[in-house]
Chain A
Amino acid sequence: MGLIREGRLVPDPFTDASGLERLPDGVPLIVSLEQWQTQRSGLLASGQRLGLRLKSDQPPRLVAADLGHFSVIALEFPKYRDGRAYTHARMLRERFKFAGEIRAVGDVLQEQLHFMHRCGFDTFDVAGPDPEKAWRTIAGDHTVAYQATGDGQPRALDLRKGTGP
């Protein structure tokens, strides 16, 4: 499993405990929304860094007040066709001003990385044998954007400054 950040394979200090019945002690954990809701006080008392894994039908507004507790929000793509997490990422960044890591997990394919990045994802649990190569391959695909999505890339229509036919 490779976690890509800024085009490089980086170590993942977090243990994804979202599928585990018993939470491990003494390590940074990524937990599910249910685990967070039922074991909140214990998790906070552990003193470990925390991450939250949200399914695609769990919008970030459900935890808007708690976002300060998390270093990572992992947004799940159950299938690459399920595009809800693109909206969730933008909400986290642009509406809730979440400044931590937004991680793409699940069915994360090379050809979707660009849109994910533009929506505010900064780490990617990419499928395939060579995630760095996947990132390099798509890195130059799109240099022009028609939309501003909060990532700072200017829109073509803002760069044009009204030059016409």
Chain B
Amino acid sequence: MYRYDEFDHTLVAERVATFRRQVARRLTGDLTEDQFKPLRLMNGLYLQLHAYMLRVNIPYGCLSSRQLRQLAFIARRYDRNFGHFTTRQNIQYNWIKLDETPDVLAALAAVEMNAMQSSGNCVRNITADQFAGRAQDEIEDPRPWCELIRQWSILHPEFSYLPRKFKIAVSGAPQDRAAVKLHDVGLYLRPNAAGVIGFEVIVGGGQGRLPYVGHTIREWLAKEDLLSYLEAILRIYNLGGRRDNLQKARIKVQVNALGAEEFRRLVDEEWEQIRFTPQLAVPRAEIERITAYFADPAWEQIPDAAALVAAQRSADPAFEVWNRANVVAHRTPGYAIVNLSLKAPGIAPGDLTADQMDKVAELADRFSLGELRVSHRQNLVFPDVRQVDLQALWQDLQSLSLATPNIGSLTDIIACPGLDFCALANARAIPVAQDIGRHFTDVAALQDIGELTINISGCMNACGHHHVGHIGILGVEKNGLEFYQLTLGGSSGEDASLGDRLGRSISAAEVPVAIEAIVTRYKALREGDERFLDTYRRVGLEPFKEAVYGKTPQRRPAVA
């Protein structure tokens, strides 16, 4: 993992000191709430429905056991004994007190973490594939580049007051696990025709009220040009992004208004002016320095243990089911990647208690070389588990309720905090996820359904990524009541697409029933081991519409 050096430590410590002063000015009334707002947002502090919420960065999803213990300490000391992992590799605390925030930031700084730019109209946390450095299909590890971008973006004097927030994701594998095409800027590490690895640059993806899949504006960019090209994109956006309408201020609106070609032309024109300036050069020594932090850990030279695991699996059906759902092949013999599901039945997706955090940290030390990852699907990952340890780890995870065998299945739900916490929400999201989790508990049935993602957002801002769920669920408010609009066919992968509206919205109680109907129809229609998404793409909306609403004309929605 990356470690702060003296410069990084100083920068974060100064930031904490500055914010301490700003909070003091707010508490004495020297700053009004309106003046204070941009300052707290730049430090990750939101004012929510009931209290302040602090959003902490987990850069590109990498976390050490030591850091997780500190997150547990913060949850206990400053919050209500839990934290919530988000879709952008952040952790949120929902009950933070304003006057204690500087102490929380200092506690984070002590373990080389921060909440800088986790909100506000600036470059947000850089996100990446949670299997970076471990995945078998990886072309190149994205983490050193994420760290380079992180540093370039932090406290950028020119780009701290953008028209709107700006999210960057990086993947180094052909299978996209980081929703790269749904970001303001998405980067894929790719070889060019000569076999030299560079970046495919995608711009203008995003969700919210106006969802778009991003456009590729450069098929291949040399690595040494990364910062100058990003600076050119940000500059075109800073100058040309709309500032008159908050809903239209993201770069996706600018890109789609100009057209991707014209946007690319503007970026290239700017880039030509700055690409050779020394201010934006990427010194080889610096990228080598950063890359050295992501060197392979001290893996043991051990043989592949697939035969042992296969025997254990056939002896224990529950272990078999967990392996199939939650264990992923590792690029090194004798090791496996393990997903920890934060989606046990009845649990708010992404929540982890302080006690669970401490125990997970302990397990990470015992079983995963002290390191873990956070995924954009709101789960945790142990990246370096010896295959011979899988069964012991599984047993320990079961006792923590973190072994639900549902990764990628329909109970591995992404959900935003919704009306339970969020001031913007129209409807609750967490209880709907909990209901679905309770409705579909049969493990064998879930595995038969296979890969099927459900994403739930409590409002049009789409923090639960409903547009790109294979099944999306959007909370809407009608006459003071909560209803839910279903969409089908979304994907956040390399085959990214936006879901299509199924029909009229339904009540919360009807949601699990509707999903059951969709799943039943899918199982009747699928060919071979076709995924739900592929069946949907083949047969379209109509069969599912009929399954949910029947053949009769649509009736008025039932009152919830």
The smallest C-beta distance from A134 to any residue of chain B, in angstroms, reads 11
How many residues on the B side are at the interface (Cβ–Cβ under 8 A)?
45
- In the complex, what residue of chain A is closest to B3 when comparing beta carbons? A165
When the two chains form their complex, are residues B38 and A81 in contact, meaning their CB atoms are under 8 A apart?
yes
- Please tell me if the beta carbons of B21 and A137 are within 8 angstroms of each other in the complex: yes
**Shortest distance in angstroms between A58's beta carbon and chain B's nearest beta carbon?**
11
- Tell me the minimal C-beta distance from A80 to chain B in angstroms: 7
- Our count of residue pairs bridging A and B at CB distance below 8 angstroms stands at 118
Asked whether A90 lies within 8 Å of B14 as measured between CB atoms, the reply is no
A143 & B157 in contact (Cβ 8 Å cutoff)? no
Which residues of A19-71 have CB atoms within 8 Å of chain B's CB atoms?
Answer: 59
B156 within 8 A of A: yes
> Is B480 interfacial (CB 8 A cutoff)?
no
Residues of B within 8 A of A146 (CB): 11, 151-152, 154-156
Residues in B whose Cβ lies below 8 Å from that of A162: 283, 285-286, 288-289
A interface bracket (residues with beta carbon within 8 Å of B): 35 or more
Q: Are A95 and B292 in contact (CB under 8 A)?
A: no
Min distance, Cβ A6 to any Cβ of chain B, angstroms: 18
A157 CA / B227 CA spacing, docked (Å): 13
Residue of B10, B22, B38, B157 with highest tally of chain A CB at under 10 A: B157
Structural contact, A80 and B292, CB atoms closer than 8 A: no
Is chain A's binding surface mostly helix, strand, loop or mixed?
loop
B273 at the A/B interface (Cβ < 8 Å)? yes
Q: Mark B146-167, 1 if CB is under 8 A from A, else 0.
A: 0000011011111111110000
Majority secondary structure of chain B interface residues (helix, strand, loop or mixed): helix
Q: Please pick, from A82, A94, A118, the residue contacting B161 in the complex, using a CB distance under 8 A.
A: A82
- B312 at interface (Cβ–Cβ under 8 A)? no
**A148, B7: Cβ atoms closer than 8 Å:** no
Given A87-B238, A137-B21, A144-B7, does the pair A119, B283 have CB atoms closer than 8 Å? Answer: no
In the bound complex, how far is the Cα of B161 from the Cα of A140, in angstroms? 21
The contact string, 1 if C-beta is below 8 Å from chain A, for chain B 235-275, is 10011000100000000000000000000000000000100
Name the distance in Å between A101's Cβ and chain B's nearest Cβ: 19
User: In the complex, which residue of chain A has the Cβ closest to the Cβ of B121?
Assistant: A81
B38 touches A80 (CB 8 A): yes
Q: Which residue of A lies closest to B290 (CB)?
A: A164
CA distance A82 to B163 in the complex (A): 7
Per the bound structure, the CA–CA distance linking A95 and B21 in Å amounts to: 36
Question: With an 8 A cutoff between CB atoms, is B296 at the interface?
Answer: no
The answer, yes or no, to whether B554 is at the interface (CB within 8 Å) is no
**Which residues of chain A come closer than 8 Å to B239, judged between CB atoms?**
59, 84, 87
Also in contact, A161 and B285, with CB within 8 A (given A87-B239, A149-B279, A150-B279): yes
Compute how far the CA of A87 lies from the CA of B157 in the bound complex, rounded to whole angstroms. 9
Please tell me if A1 contacts chain B, counting CB pairs below 8 Å: no
Which residues of chain B are within 8 angstroms of A156 by Cβ–Cβ distance? 7-8, 11, 151
B175 within 8 A of A: no
Q: How far is the CA of A84 from the CA of B241 in the complex (A)?
A: 10
- Decide: A83 near B10, CB < 8 A? Known: A147-B279, A162-B285, A165-B293: no
Within 8 A of A (CB), among B11-32: 11, 14-15, 17-18, 21-22
Contact A158–B283 (Cβ < 8 Å): yes
Interface presence of B35 (CB below 8 A): yes
Judged by a CB distance under 8 angstroms, whether B51 is at the interface is no
Question: Within 8 Å of chain A (Cβ to Cβ): is B5?
Answer: yes
The answer, yes or no, to whether B329 is at the interface (CB within 8 Å) is no
* Distance in Å: Cβ of A137 to nearest Cβ of chain B: 7
When each residue 483-526 of chain B gets 1 if its CB lies under 8 Å from chain A and 0 otherwise, what string results? 00000000000000000000000000000000000000000000
Question: Cβ of A14: which chain B residues have Cβ within 8 Å of it?
Answer: none
Contact of A10 with B by CB under 8 A: no
17 A-B pairs besides A83-B162, A164-B293 with CB distance below 8 A are A81-B243, A82-B161, A83-B121, A83-B160, A84-B239, A115-B158, A141-B14, A142-B14, A142-B155, A144-B7, A144-B10, A146-B151, A147-B158, A156-B151, A158-B286, A160-B5, A162-B288
Query: Which of B's residues lie within 8 Å of A, judged by CB?
Result: 3, 5, 7-8, 10-11, 14-15, 17-18, 21-22, 35, 38-39, 121, 151-152, 154-163, 235, 238-239, 243, 273, 277-280, 283, 285-286, 288-289, 292-293, 295
Question: 5 closest Cβ contacts across the A-B interface?
Answer: A83-B161, A162-B285, A148-B279, A156-B7, A118-B157
Q: List 14 A-B contacts (CB under 8 A).
A: A84-B239, A87-B239, A95-B273, A138-B18, A142-B11, A142-B15, A144-B14, A145-B157, A146-B155, A150-B279, A157-B283, A158-B283, A161-B285, A165-B295
